[in-house]
């Protein structure tokens, strides 16, 4: 259910009212600036009437006053613009920080369901739209309200009949034109947001997946998609520009007709001796002042509705509840041994379509367990439940007897390390990437983790060493180098439970031996879950748990499961025996043989991409 604009405005003004002193000062400046603007026609009237009446004394004082008013108006305009922009940027900063913090608190499921382009647009463009409303539109409506009220009051004092004629000509036509423009342009703004979000998504996909794009020669396909979206944004912008041009042309026509009407009626009043030339000039100047406030109300309404669209999308995120919630009574997880148990766990990304069905098993402290199964069997889903990226719909998971849902999430995740299949390196230095889980780690700790991960010698050979910057996805490093940096990153937080998610699947066999040695160091004295397609990594496991259709169907050592001639045996034959060269090498070399082989190689030998 969508929040009504009034409710959105109230929520938005909660941020605004945090700056009451600045708002009060701005109100005073706006009123003062309007008064300064309204004094100018009165001075012009007196000058003209005095000159026409043959009184030429003190003209220099009028000239001096006009110059002074212009200078004062300029100063007030600068101060008003600066303070309003400063207040708006502070409000946007606070909202953006709140939004980003909440995005970090949201569960995996939110990111599964929400388009990346929409998230980026909400953090950037939507915040800018709200800022424009607060810095420009809000000040515009304040200034226009004061100017309109005072201008009409002065016009009435100058000539009641001429004021009624002018008001009945200008205000209705301008109001109708503004409202009509707003009616047609609002859906354009809505559609433009959708198309811009889609455009952001295409750019993000292009940058993130450029290797695949290049490898498949898909540049033209992506270009066509981008061109189509860009044309839609262009056409929407063109439509809004046409509407704006039509509106301004209408305003110019209305002003021209109003001015002609004023001169015709005012001229007859002058000839009748009931109106002076200076008064007619002042009246014309004040009449032109009616156009902008009336028109600005329509423009502010457009800005308001655009800002409400942005506010709605922003508050939709702020109102989104994490599916994984921390209890108010949650406790910190003390240092653990690493005993983990699944007890009749059911889970599905959609509750009516369970992925895990009654999963139960127990892992002892320090035990290394490999999870094996066909694609879609639930392996990756299972390991996502251990750090509480998701919560089971039924059953429970315990660590050292603690139900995960009774623990503070940060304290749980601090004792779990994950080495993903798809390694992500942040666009910063190698040192900061290794120390990402512990930003206060010393240089000695970083180097120690790198040495255990067998990547230190390579890093030391680089001109900038540990201060070498890497690309968003570590593009300056080979797959094996990225993998070992990820292993060092997992080591530095010294987790008691470690998850290896197919962490050697994307490297060649030579690199595998290096990573295998690093993993042997990494898994020592830890409870480990391994998802792998590599036999050598599988041999790190003390026990293999086989999943099929979301259920545990077998459990045991490699030899025990092969002898059963069951699911694992079939998977082994279909997946592993297909890689004859690697399998032959893996079977002929035991872990001890692998160890001696690796020791004969230099620790930091640089890999080929």
Instruction: Give the span between the Cα atoms of 349 and 488, in whole angstroms.
Output: 32
What pLDDT is stored for residue 240 in this prediction?
A: 78
Q: Domain boundary at 290, 319, 348, which?
A: 319
Residues 203, 73 share a domain:
yes
Q: Which ranges of 209-218 does DSSP label H, i.e. alpha helix?
A: 210-216
Residues 311, 430 share a domain:
no
Residue 196: inside a domain, yes or no? yes
Q: Which ranges of 471-579 does DSSP label H, i.e. alpha helix?
A: 479-492, 509-522, 535-538, 558-564, 567-571
Residue 460: inside a domain, yes or no? yes
Structurally, how many domains does the chain consist of?
2
What pLDDT is stored for residue 409 in this prediction?
A: 92
What pLDDT is stored for residue 512 in this prediction?
A: 64
What pLDDT is stored for residue 575 in this prediction?
A: 65
- Supply the pTM of this predicted model: 0.69
Q: Domain boundary at 476, 494, 512, which?
A: 494
Cβ-proximal residues to 179 (8 Å cutoff; 6+ apart), any chain: 298, 301
**HEC readout, 353-421:** ECCEEEEEEEECCCCEEEEEECCCCCHHHHHHHCCCCCCCCEEEEEECCEEHHHECHHHHHCCEEEECC
Q: Contact 368/540 with Cβ under 8 angstroms?
A: yes
Residues 21, 147 share a domain:
yes
Q: Contact 548/377 with Cβ under 8 angstroms?
A: yes
- Report the residue count for the chain: 609
The domain that contains 433 carries what CATH number? Answer: 3.40.50.300
DSSP letter for each residue of 61-91: HHHHHHHHHHHHHHHHHHHHHHHHHHHHHHH
What pLDDT is stored for residue 126 in this prediction?
A: 85
Residue 353's beta-bridge partner residues? 350
Its domain, for residue 78, covers 5-319
Instruction: Give the span between the Cα atoms of 459 and 431, in whole angstroms.
Output: 9
The domain that contains 146 carries what CATH number? Answer: 1.20.1560.10
Distance of CA 277 to the CA centre of its chain: 60
Residue 337: inside a domain, yes or no? no
Residues 257, 114 share a domain:
yes
Cβ-proximal residues to 387 (8 Å cutoff; 6+ apart), any chain: 412, 413, 416, 418, 499
pLDDT averaged per 10 residues in sequence order, the chain, 609 residues? 67 87 89 87 82 72 85 90 89 90 86 78 84 82 84 84 76 73 72 77 73 71 84 85 76 76 81 81 81 72 79 87 89 93 93 91 93 87 93 95 94 89 83 87 91 88 89 66 86 88 62 68 83 71 91 92 88 64 43 39 39
Give the containing element (helix H, strand E) for 528. Answer: strand 527-531
What pLDDT is stored for residue 4 in this prediction?
A: 58
Which residue from 108, 265, 247 is spatially nearest to 183, judged by alpha carbons? 247
Q: Rounded to whole angstroms, what are the CA distances from 67 to 72, 74, 78, 283? A: 9, 11, 17, 21
Give the containing element (helix H, strand E) for 500. Answer: strand 497-501
Residue 114: inside a domain, yes or no? yes
Q: Domain boundary at 319, 339, 372, which?
A: 319
Instruction: Give the span between the Cα atoms of 601 and 594, in whole angstroms.
Output: 11
Residues 294, 437 share a domain:
no
Q: Contact 359/546 with Cβ under 8 angstroms?
A: no
Residues 183, 310 share a domain:
yes
Residues 297, 431 share a domain:
no
Residues 315, 428 share a domain:
no
What pLDDT is stored for residue 598 in this prediction?
A: 39
Q: Count other Cβ atoms within 10 Å, centred on residue 147.
A: 23
Q: Rounded to whole angstroms, what are the CA distances from 227 to 127, 140, 202, 232? A: 26, 37, 10, 9
Instruction: Give the span between the Cα atoms of 216 and 218, in whole angstroms.
Output: 5
Residue 413: inside a domain, yes or no? no
């Amino acid at each position: 259910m969508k929040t009504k604009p009034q409710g959105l405005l109230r929520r938005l003004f909660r941020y605004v009212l945090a700056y009451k002193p600045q708002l009060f000062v701005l109100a005073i400046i706006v009123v003062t600036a309007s008064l300064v603007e309204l004094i100018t026609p009165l001075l012009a009237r007196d000058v003209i009437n005095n000159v026409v009446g043959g009184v030429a004394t003190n003209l220099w004082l009028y000239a001096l006053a006009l110059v002074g008013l212009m200078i004062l108006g300029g100063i007030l305009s600068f101060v008003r613009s600066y303070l309003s922009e400063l207040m708006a940027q502070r409000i946007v900063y606070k909202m953006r920080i709140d939004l980003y913090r909440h995005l970090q608190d949201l569960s995996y499921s939110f990111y599964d369901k929400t388009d990346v382009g929409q998230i980026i647009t909400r953090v950037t463009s939507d915040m800018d739209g709200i800022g424009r409303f607060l810095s420009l539109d809000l000040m515009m409506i304040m200034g226009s309200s004061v100017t309109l009220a005072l201008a009409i009051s002065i016009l009435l004092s100058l000539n009641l009949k001429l004021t009624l004629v002018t008001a009945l000509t200008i205000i209705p036509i301008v109001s109708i034109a503004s409202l009509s423009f707003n009616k047609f342009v609002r859906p354009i703004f809505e559609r433009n947001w959708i198309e811009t979000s889609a455009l952001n998504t295409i750019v993000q996909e292009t940058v993130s997946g450029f290797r695949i794009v290049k490898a498949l020669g898909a540049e033209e396909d992506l270009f066509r998609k981008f061109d189509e979206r860009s044309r839609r944004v262009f056409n929407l912008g063109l439509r809004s520009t046409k509407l704006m041009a039509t509106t301004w042309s209408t305003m110019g026509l209305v002003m021209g007709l109003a001015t002609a009407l004023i001169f015709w009626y005012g001229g007859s009043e002058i000839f009748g001796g009931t109106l002076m030339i200076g008064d007619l000039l002042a009246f014309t100047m004040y009449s032109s002042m009616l156009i902008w406030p009336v028109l600005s109300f329509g423009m502010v309404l457009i800005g308001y509705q655009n800002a409400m669209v942005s506010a709605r999308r922003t508050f939709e995120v702020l109102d989104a509840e994490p599916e994984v919630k921390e209890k108010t009574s949650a406790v910190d997880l003390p240092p653990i041994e690493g005993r983990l148990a699944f007890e009749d766990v059911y889970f599905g990304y959609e509750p009516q379509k369970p992925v895990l069905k009654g999963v139960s098993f127990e892992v002892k402290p320090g035990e290394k367990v490999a999870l094996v199964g066909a694609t879609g069997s639930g392996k990756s889903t299972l390991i996502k439940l251990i750090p509480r990226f998701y919560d089971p719909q039924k059953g429970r998971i315990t660590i050292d007897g603690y139900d995960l849902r009774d623990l503070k999430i940060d304290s749980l995740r601090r004792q779990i390390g994950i080495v993903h299949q798809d390694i992500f390196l942040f666009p910063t230095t190698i040192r900061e990437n290794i120390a990402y889980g512990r930003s206060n780690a010393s240089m000695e700790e970083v180097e120690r983790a790198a040495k255990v991960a067998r990547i230190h010698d390579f890093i030391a050979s680089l001109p900038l060493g540990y201060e070498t910057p890497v690309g968003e996805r570590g593009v300056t490093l080979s797959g094996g180098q990225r993998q070992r940096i990820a292993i060092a990153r997992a080591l530095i937080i010294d987790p008691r439970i470690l998850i290896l998610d197919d962490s050697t699947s994307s490297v060649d066999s030579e690199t595998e031996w290096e990573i295998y040695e690093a993993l042997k160091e990494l898994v020592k004295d830890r409870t480990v879950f391994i998802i792998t397609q590599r036999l050598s990594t599988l041999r790190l496991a003390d026990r293999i748990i086989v999943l099929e259709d979301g259920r545990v169907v077998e459990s045991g050592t490699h030899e025990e499961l092969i002898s059963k001639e069951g699911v694992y045996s079939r998977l082994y034959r279909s997946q592993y025996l297909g890689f004859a060269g690697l399998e032959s090498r893996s079977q002929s070399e035991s872990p001890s043989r692998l160890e001696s082989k690796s020791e004969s190689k230099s620790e930091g030998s640089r890999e080929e991409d």
